[in-house]
Chains A and B, each alone.
Chain A
Amino acid sequence: MTSINQTLQEEQVVVFQLMEQVYGIDINSVFEIIRMESITKLPRTPDFVEGVINLRGRIIPVIDLGLRFGLGQSERTQASRIIIVEVSGQKIGMIVDSVQEVLRIPTASIEPPPPVVNGVDATYLRGIAILEDKLVILLDQDKILYEKEKELLQQANIGGDQAWEV
């Protein structure tokens, strides 16, 4: 499948840090970036679901990206941010350690990902951009959400009765 990006010369990504690693996400899917605020916890949801926030009157689910990738939870600091991404009409917040910059990455420098990168399953990755001074792991935001959704749904399905055990 040829993705539309490969026909372009370069693409813009929002670069952020998570657990000492540099990641990038396509700027077109980033709705906005906000500071950490109080997040309402949701009972009985997977550990990576941090909760929900009120974003100007809309309820937005927020996930902890570190926990999502099974890397553990990183510390919340002044630099922590919530990146609100919009994928197929749904807005979702992802907690990251810090947001660094917006980079233009030449399409030619993007390599397909190896099966696992720093503990992150390649399912969630679009590729790796090898730049002069750094290496940026490019996330596939559709996959992050879609795969999660499947898991969540499965949990909801098996959770039918078990979910109620006190």
Chain B
Amino acid sequence: MFSDIEIGVFIDELEEKIQVINDGLLALERDEGNPDIIQEIFRAAHTVKGSSGIMGYENMASLTHEMENLFDKIRHGEIHVTSDMINVLFEALDTLKALKDEVTGEGPAVDTTAVVDKIRSFVQGDPVVTPEQPKPVVVQPAGAAIDWIEIGDVEENVIREAELRGFQAYRIAVDIAQDCQMKNVRAFLIFETLQQVGEIIKSSPAAEDIQEGKYDTGFQLVLITKEDTDRIKNLVITISEVTDARVEPIVLPSQEAAETPAKVKEASAARAETREVKNGTAETAEKKAVKTVRVDVNKLDNLMNLVGELVIDRTRLNRFAEIFESRFGSDDLVEAVNEISNHLGQVTGDLQEQIMKARMLPVAQLFNRFPRMVRDTAQKLGKEIDFVVEGKETELDRNVIEVIGDPLIHLIRNAIDHGIETPQERVAAGKSPTGTLLLKASYAESHIVITVQDDGRGMDVNKIKNKAVELGFMDREAVDRLSDREALNLIFRPGFSTKNNEVSDLSGRGVGMDVVNTAIEQINGTVELDTKLGSGTRFTIRLPLTLAIIRALMITLGNQVYAFPLTNVSETIRITDQDIRRVGNNEVIVVRDRILPLVRLGRLFNCPDYQEDTKMFVVIIGSGEKRVAVVVDKLLGEQEIVIKSLGDYLGQVPGLSGACILGDGKVALIVDVRGLVKNLAVEEATYAAG
């Protein structure tokens, strides 16, 4: 039996080699005879064959053995690379990924015979290419066939939400002894035990039935927790009369996984190229083996908290030094204390930064998934695409990377599907037949910027306006008043689509631009859209480097400090009573021809020491294209804050999204801008009508 560490090392190496083969195949598609690439893939397959053989993963070993054989023949010029062969090799690569998931327990058992036969047929020189390429067949391991509990849409949303907060969902099948006398008590104990470590979100049969003992010889649960498989299993198995418990992590299909392998278009001229533009150093850095240690993210969070305490102590030391100085005047001792305090400040600042960096991963993790997707999508739609990737070495917090995966997939698919025209159309429009799709990551101040840009047909503002009227979002008059930018932002509204024909199976999928927008806003990011009819579209996504730290505008209500995430603050203004109008029961103000609902935060939050004044500071906050004006007492300025949750006990406090700790150790509350805006921003049209 191999230890977890050995398996971990093996998986790391396997992932690396899968990436090598993936990049190699993409390169080979463009340059079919390149001996260096062939050699590289051969070596990668050979390495995996060896290590998987040692580990005893026979399916993996036999699959990579066939791949190695094939590339050996290609190396020696006995066989030539064809596009059919490349398609089969991609299928083999998918199977290899599925085998990896099988090893890590993230996926079911995989049958490799079909794909091995296909490769073998190339090796023997009689390619059998089936037009339909079935997905790797899923085989349940013998003796463990479980008809697992279904995960519905509702649960899926809950799970995705929980995953963002670092939880993992598991399916648990519990078997109770046949002769169990008190099934209800057993069930109660199991529920009770699991609720200590997490939350049960679904069960089969229904929870009430289980708790009343109305089940056969077992039942299934879906649990959201931070514990791992073994621990959950142990918790359940130690309850008496439980004969068996099987625990399996739930891996939600990313949108990509739902994709069936693309059909091969015979003799299609479609192809997608991927080019990478790197900084000179990144190349060598990638080649160097990185020495790594796996660390639980919670440990890093704890370190972060400790640093937070240091910062507070440093503030106290500072104050102490001031008192010292006022009492004894300035002398060497006072100087020394000041010096210590300053140095401590520097060190804690650096320490904070280093720990933050420890949570960061190169965005390559995510970007490496795209070339293949672009290739398949382009092939399917008969488009020629030159896919350019820049800035893969840019680093982002791992949680951010997890969240932006799906929105990026959507934007890229959209660009290929709606943005870039077919080669014929492009030539007719006087462009080169091959469209360019750029995916770029870069740093900008304390943000990271990800750009998805195509040189396709662009978006027609008038078309969008017409569609908005047609869908009943706004009346013609309101639409005509919109600026081009405001009109473009309509596409981020739920239910908006300008595609008149039936939805192609690529985009759509129930993920509209509104979902892209929501996902990005969730992590305090913003998304902007620029487009020019006939020459292309660019989406610019700005993200904080980390979820834990944001820039915020600090304000006061009475003597309590509140923070507004700066990404949601569009401006601050001063108004007087004279500026406030009333529409029905609501107060509004007009800012540059826009009517904004006015919210007196002190009133909303029932602040005991809140005073109304004739002159007021107003913070204009927004989410999506909605804006709300919020009256506050004082503006304190901007500051970087570390976001902390209010904890499960309080749950969701209306109007707040979390808290942070100020330099003096006091707690400031973070305003839930999205919630406020969602609940208080009234469509402008209703005012216009009123």
Task: A58 to B649: give the CA distance in the assembly, Å.
Answer: 14
Q: A54-B661, A54-B666, A59-B644 are in contact. Are A166 and B649 (CB under 8 A)?
A: no
Determine whether A44 belongs to the interface, using a CB cutoff of 8 Å to chain B: yes
Most central of A45, A53, A148 by chain B CB within 10 Å: A45
Instruction: Write out the residue numbers on chain A whose beta carbons fall within 8 Å of the beta carbon of B646.
Output: 42, 52, 59, 61
Task: A126 to B455: give the CA distance in the assembly, Å.
Answer: 70
Instruction: Write out the residue numbers on chain B whose beta carbons fall within 8 Å of the beta carbon of A61.
Output: 646-647, 649-650
* A54, B305: Cβ atoms closer than 8 Å: no
Of A6-14, A26-34, A156-164, the one with at least 4 CB within 8 A of chain B:
A156-164
Q: A53-B667, A59-B645, A164-B680 are in contact. Are A43 and B605 (CB under 8 A)?
A: yes
Interface residues of B in 200-245 (CB under 8 A from A): none
Q: Give A48-67 as 1s and 0s: 1 = Cβ < 8 Å from B's Cβ atoms.
A: 01001110111111000000
* A44, B305: Cβ atoms closer than 8 Å: no
* A43, B656: Cβ atoms closer than 8 Å: yes
Q: A40-B659, A43-B656, A164-B654 are in contact. Are A90 and B667 (CB under 8 A)?
A: no
Instruction: Write out the residue numbers on chain A whose beta carbons fall within 8 Å of the beta carbon of B252.
Output: none
Smallest CB-CB separation from A58: which chain B residue? B305
Taking the nearest CB of chain A, how far is it from the CB of B543, in angstroms? 25
Residue in A41, A49, A53, A159 whose CB lies within 8 Å of B650: A49
* A42, B653: Cβ atoms closer than 8 Å: yes
Interface residues on A, range: 20 to 34
* B661, A45: Cβ atoms closer than 8 Å: no
Q: A41-B560, A58-B305, A59-B647 are in contact. Are A156 and B661 (CB under 8 A)?
A: no
Instruction: Write out the residue numbers on chain B whose beta carbons fall within 8 Å of the beta carbon of A145.
Output: 649
Instruction: Write out the residue numbers on chain A whose beta carbons fall within 8 Å of the beta carbon of B606.
Output: 43-44
Task: A17 to B103: give the CA distance in the assembly, Å.
Answer: 57
Taking the nearest CB of chain A, how far is it from the CB of B559, in angstroms? 10
Task: A164 to B672: give the CA distance in the assembly, Å.
Answer: 12
Task: A61 to B607: give the CA distance in the assembly, Å.
Answer: 18
Task: A137 to B291: give the CA distance in the assembly, Å.
Answer: 57
Task: A61 to B650: give the CA distance in the assembly, Å.
Answer: 7
Most central of A45, A57, A61, A159 by chain B CB within 10 Å: A57
Instruction: Write out the residue numbers on chain A whose beta carbons fall within 8 Å of the beta carbon of B197.
Output: 88
Determine whether A149 belongs to the interface, using a CB cutoff of 8 Å to chain B: yes
* B651, A152: Cβ atoms closer than 8 Å: yes
Task: A53 to B309: give the CA distance in the assembly, Å.
Answer: 14
Task: A149 to B650: give the CA distance in the assembly, Å.
Answer: 7
* B650, A54: Cβ atoms closer than 8 Å: no
Determine whether A5 belongs to the interface, using a CB cutoff of 8 Å to chain B: no
Residue in B644, B649, B654 whose CB lies within 8 Å of A92: B649
Most central of B196, B603, B651 by chain A CB within 10 Å: B651
Task: A104 to B659: give the CA distance in the assembly, Å.
Answer: 39
Q: A52-B659, A57-B309, A164-B680 are in contact. Are A156 and B651 (CB under 8 A)?
A: yes
Q: A40-B560, A43-B607, A52-B667 are in contact. Are A164 and B679 (CB under 8 A)?
A: yes
Interface residues of B in 416-467 (CB under 8 A from A): none
Instruction: Write out the residue numbers on chain A whose beta carbons fall within 8 Å of the beta carbon of B680.
Output: 164
Determine whether A102 belongs to the interface, using a CB cutoff of 8 Å to chain B: no
Smallest CB-CB separation from A92: which chain B residue? B649
Instruction: Write out the residue numbers on chain A whose beta carbons fall within 8 Å of the beta carbon of B668.
Output: 40
Majority SS at the chain A contact face = mixed
Q: A43-B606, A57-B661 are in contact. Are A149 and B649 (CB under 8 A)?
A: yes
Q: A43-B607, A54-B666 are in contact. Are A166 and B600 (CB under 8 A)?
A: yes
Interface residues of B in 664-690 (CB under 8 A from A): 665-669, 679-680
Determine whether B604 belongs to the interface, using a CB cutoff of 8 Å to chain A: yes
Task: A153 to B668: give the CA distance in the assembly, Å.
Answer: 23
Determine whether A3 belongs to the interface, using a CB cutoff of 8 Å to chain B: no
Instruction: Write out the residue numbers on chain B whose beta carbons fall within 8 Å of the beta carbon of A78.
Output: none
Taking the nearest CB of chain B, how far is it from the CB of A37, in angstroms? 9
Taking the nearest CB of chain B, how far is it from the CB of A51, in angstroms? 8
Most central of B645, B659, B680 by chain A CB within 10 Å: B659
Instruction: Write out the residue numbers on chain A whose beta carbons fall within 8 Å of the beta carbon of B305.
Output: 56-58
Interface residues of A in 85-127 (CB under 8 A from B): 88, 90, 92
Interface residues on B, range: 35 or more
Smallest CB-CB separation from A90: which chain B residue? B649
Instruction: Write out the residue numbers on chain A whose beta carbons fall within 8 Å of the beta carbon of B648.
Output: 90, 149
Q: A90-B648, A145-B649 are in contact. Are A42 and B679 (CB under 8 A)?
A: no
* B653, A166: Cβ atoms closer than 8 Å: no
Smallest CB-CB separation from B668: which chain A residue? A40
Determine whether A77 belongs to the interface, using a CB cutoff of 8 Å to chain B: no
Q: Give B631-658 as 1s and 0s: 1 = Cβ < 8 Å from A's Cβ atoms.
A: 0000000000000111111111111100
Smallest CB-CB separation from B667: which chain A residue? A40
Task: A159 to B665: give the CA distance in the assembly, Å.
Answer: 31
Q: A57-B305, A88-B196 are in contact. Are A44 and B655 (CB under 8 A)?
A: yes
Q: A52-B659, A88-B196 are in contact. Are A44 and B653 (CB under 8 A)?
A: yes
Taking the nearest CB of chain B, how far is it from the CB of A89, in angstroms? 8
Taking the nearest CB of chain A, how far is it from the CB of B333, in angstroms? 29
* A44, B309: Cβ atoms closer than 8 Å: no
Residue in A38, A43, A58, A60 whose CB lies within 8 Å of B653: A43
Taking the nearest CB of chain A, how far is it from the CB of B168, in angstroms? 16
* A40, B309: Cβ atoms closer than 8 Å: no
* A44, B654: Cβ atoms closer than 8 Å: yes
* B647, A90: Cβ atoms closer than 8 Å: yes
Residue in B196, B309, B653 whose CB lies within 8 Å of A45: B653
Taking the nearest CB of chain B, how far is it from the CB of A24, in angstroms? 22
* A54, B651: Cβ atoms closer than 8 Å: no
Residue in B651, B653, B661 whose CB lies within 8 Å of A153: B651
Taking the nearest CB of chain B, how far is it from the CB of A153, in angstroms? 6
Taking the nearest CB of chain B, how far is it from the CB of A54, in angstroms? 5
Smallest CB-CB separation from A43: which chain B residue? B605
Determine whether B599 belongs to the interface, using a CB cutoff of 8 Å to chain A: yes
Instruction: Write out the residue numbers on chain A whose beta carbons fall within 8 Å of the beta carbon of B644.
Output: 58-59
Most central of A41, A43, A44, A59 by chain B CB within 10 Å: A43
Instruction: Write out the residue numbers on chain A whose beta carbons fall within 8 Å of the beta carbon of B655.
Output: 43-44, 163
Instruction: Write out the residue numbers on chain B whose beta carbons fall within 8 Å of the beta carbon of A53.
Output: 667
Smallest CB-CB separation from A38: which chain B residue? B666
Task: A43 to B670: give the CA distance in the assembly, Å.
Answer: 12
Smallest CB-CB separation from A63: which chain B residue? B649
Task: A145 to B195: give the CA distance in the assembly, Å.
Answer: 14
* A42, B647: Cβ atoms closer than 8 Å: no
Task: A50 to B605: give the CA distance in the assembly, Å.
Answer: 14
Taking the nearest CB of chain A, how far is it from the CB of B183, in angstroms? 16
Taking the nearest CB of chain A, how far is it from the CB of B239, in angstroms? 13
Task: A153 to B650: give the CA distance in the assembly, Å.
Answer: 8
A-B contact pairs, 16 of them (CB 8 A): A40-B659, A41-B608, A43-B656, A44-B605, A44-B655, A45-B650, A54-B661, A54-B666, A59-B647, A88-B197, A145-B649, A152-B650, A156-B652, A159-B654, A163-B654, A166-B599
With A40-B666, A44-B655 given, can you name 10 additional A-B contacts, CB distance below 8 Å?
A: A40-B560, A40-B669, A42-B653, A42-B669, A52-B659, A56-B305, A57-B312, A90-B648, A166-B599, A166-B600
Q: Give the interface of A toward B (CB within 8 A).
A: 38, 40-45, 49, 52-54, 56-61, 88, 90, 92, 145, 148-149, 152-153, 156, 159, 161, 163-164, 166
Closest 6 CB pairs of A and B: A43-B605, A57-B305, A163-B654, A57-B308, A40-B667, A164-B679
